[in-house]
Structure 1
Amino acid sequence: MSRTLLAALVTAAVVVPVSAAARPRIPAPAPAALAPPTTATLDKAYTANRANAAEASRMAAAHGDHTRAAADHALAAPSRRFLTFDGRGQGLAVEVLGDLAHADRVAVLVPGSDTTLETYGRFRAGAAALQDRLNSFNSLDGRHETHGALGSTSRPHTAVIAWLGYETPGTVSTTVLTTGRADDAGPPLKRFIRELRGVVGEKAHVSLLCHSYGTVVCGRAARGLDVDDIALIGSPGTGADSVSALRTSARIWAARGADDWIVSVPHVHADLFGTTVGFGADPVSPAFGARVFAAGTGGHSDYFKPGSVSLDNLARIVLGDTSEVTRA
């Protein structure tokens, strides 16, 4: 039955009209040529990428694509802080929320399908909700204070990074059923984490929060990745059959909301039409071996919804307050 459903999904994806694929390619400047960031060069990177987004907006407007022009224009606002911006094609953007230069708790969010520069706002909204929750936990809960020299105390400094660092697949497409895009995204994600460590140092607590197809990306990048926690939310599978198969020293967490449609996706590998489709074991299954936490009644897009059980638990994971994470 699972293989039959998977075959139907592939067939549906193949026969969907491809009118969207015929959209003219949007002109945009090449990304700003920047060295890997350091605490001293963060502001330079932010300034250069805002300027690049502004130029991309002008070029898109001249091309007649006012939707992309508006999206790029919003990203060029003086308050935005991008480590990476590339307005070509679907677009890439890596944005910082919070003070990365002084952060000792960092969350990196990896999105799933249909995340482009045009839809980036909804992805960023989740990152902003997480940063707000981290701030509220810090202001209300003295348990997160750290003790320094001469008995001084300070609360953790947090930053959230929205990592749209790969070309995401379409929800209705053949690419969303295979690891192809994730295979391509794994090396850039690993490189980004290495560069991030160059900014925040080895002592900072770094959490990778991966949603939907983004969990496949994180599964591909997990081996030897220098992060403390990896959370898999709304996952169709990672391509690995167990936590041990991910070959990482990070704690692996998993959650699925009660109303998430992803529960209906078959957790199998199958060879169909000469291509292996499907992502294997369900990360919330006991056999996978992840630390399964509560995600409440939310649906597939609700994991970062303000006030949700899942958002609270993700914030606790980022803060390293793992004993307070509520289990499913």
Structure 2
Amino acid sequence: MTSRREGRPGGRREGHRPRGRLRRTLLAGAVAAAVVLPVSAAASPAVPAPIPAAVGEQEPLQAVYAAHRTGLAEAARMAADAGRPGRADRLHTMEAGGAAQFLAFDGRGTGRAVEVFGDLATADRIAVLVPGSDTTLDTYQRFREGASALHVRLSAAHPRAAVVAWLGYDTPGTVSTTVLTADRADEAAAELGPFLSHLERLAGPGARMSLLCHSYGTVVCARTATGSPVTDVVLYGSPGTGADSAADLPTAARVWAGRGGSDWIGNVPHVRLGQVGFGTDPVDPAFGARPFRAGPGGHSDYLKPGSESLDSLAGIVLGTAGGGAGRAAATPEVPRA
């Protein structure tokens, strides 16, 4: 009588494959457990809002800003009338007393917004910030504060600097399965690429752009084809990008990577199982990115005023950062105010 073991090619045991499946299942669970933290935003998909203002690409910047401020004010009014005072208050804060500069605003659902800090028309150094999971109109203030802090830091050393806070996609929830796959990132990259081309036309002649990507935003940037004005792509707080190396990204820009000493993302398994997970850790020397000093901060501290990471990011944007692939980067020298 033939035994089960003898009947399997190569003498493999009957139980080998189930254990393999179990191991892969547990590993996928480890990725999910490490990423899914109890920090999800209180999104408000049912809040009413007007259709976004229709502005042509040739409209003057001030006219674009004014049109979106009007849409923002109307969205705040509609939210208040619908009994959603929390959303209304957050939108009023975004108006910034009538001084806010939005290239785009959509108050529907969890919302989208693209805000400019500085004079975009004269800027020759532009940082575009791409946020990660749980960034919505309900949590927008923390994103805005980071963009503002970077602009203040840049302007202290270089008056012709601007920052663009690009909430131009539907970010995944941290407590969701969407944060474990690249589906949202693929959709976002299809929006971000054309936006960068549009931004090039809006900016001053010869302006150089840096793409600063946080957390799930690094997955977005890793899928975005960049043109020649983008000189630097910076990945920080990354769960992985889905690429095996910096050379695999669709950009000719320099690629940087850093992680704060207290960032929990470092405990996430950098693996990819089919469509789940994002593979190689960008701060691993094998990835080939230029490292930068990110200091001791946590996952939400990279743009914190006075932080080492903020100094490093400012140095990269201004082109004064040192460092090279596969070795420790020198702290960028950015003059203090």
Q: TM-score range by the shorter chain?
A: 0.7 to 0.9
Give me the whole-angstrom Cα distance separating, in 2, the residues matched to 1:101 and 1:256: 33
Instruction: Please report how far the alpha carbon of residue 113 of structure 1 lies from its aligned counterpart in structure 2 after TM superposition.
Output: 0.6
What is the aligned counterpart of 1:173 among 151, 176, 181?
176
Q: Which residue of 2 aligns with 1:321?
A: 320
How far apart, CA to CA, are the structure 2 residues paired with 1:37 and 1:188?
Answer: 19
**Is the Cα–Cα contact under 8 Å of residues 322 and 331 in structure 2 kept in the other structure?**
no
Q: Distance in 1 between matches of 2:247 and 2:154?
A: 30
Alpha-carbon distance in structure 2 between the residues aligned to 1:300 and 1:267: 16
Aligned to 1:55: 74
Structure 2: runs of 5 or more not aligned? 1-22, 324-328, 333-337
Match of 2:128 among 97, 101, 108: 108
Query: Does the 8 A contact of 1:81 with 1:97 survive in 2?
Result: yes
Q: Which residue of 1 aligns with 2:12?
A: none
Q: Aligned equivalents of 1:117 and 1:210: distance in 2?
A: 18
Separation in structure 1 between the aligned mates of residue 200 and residue 41 of structure 2, nearest angstrom: 42
Residues 313 and 326 of structure 1 are in contact (CA less than 8 Å); yes or no, is this contact kept in structure 2?
Answer: no
Q: Which runs of 5+ in 1 are unaligned?
A: 139-155
Distance apart, 1:248 and its partner CA: 1.3
SS of 1:287's equivalent in the other structure is helix
- The offset of 1:327, in angstroms, is 5.8
Contact 1:37 1:199 in 2 (8 A): no
Cross-structure match for 1:135: 155
Report which of the two structures shows the higher radius of gyration computed on alpha carbons.
2
* Secondary structure of the structure 1 residue equivalent to 2:110: coil
Which residue identity does 2:61 align to in structure 1? L
- Indicate the percent of aligned positions where both proteins have the same amino acid: 58
Q: 1:46 maps to which residue?
A: 65
Structure-2 change in CA distance of 1:13 and 1:110 (3 Å): closer
Residue matched to 1:36:
57
TM-score (norm 1): 0.86
1:200 to 199, 203, 223: 203
Q: How many residues are treated as equivalent by the alignment?
A: 302
Please report how far the alpha carbon of residue 37 of structure 1 lies from its aligned counterpart in structure 2 after TM superposition: 5.3
Specify the SS of the correspondent of 2:166: strand
Contact persistence 1:13–1:174 (CA under 8 A): no
Name the TM-score, length of structure 2 as normaliser: 0.84
1:88-103 matched pairs, under 5 angstroms: 88-103=108-123
Name the counterpart of 1:306.
305
Q: Do the aligned partners of residues 322 and 208 (structure 1) sit closer, same or farther apart at CA in structure 2, a change above 3 Å counting?
A: same
Query: Following the alignment from structure 1 to structure 2, what is the Cα–Cα distance between the partners of residues 308 and 13?
Result: 25
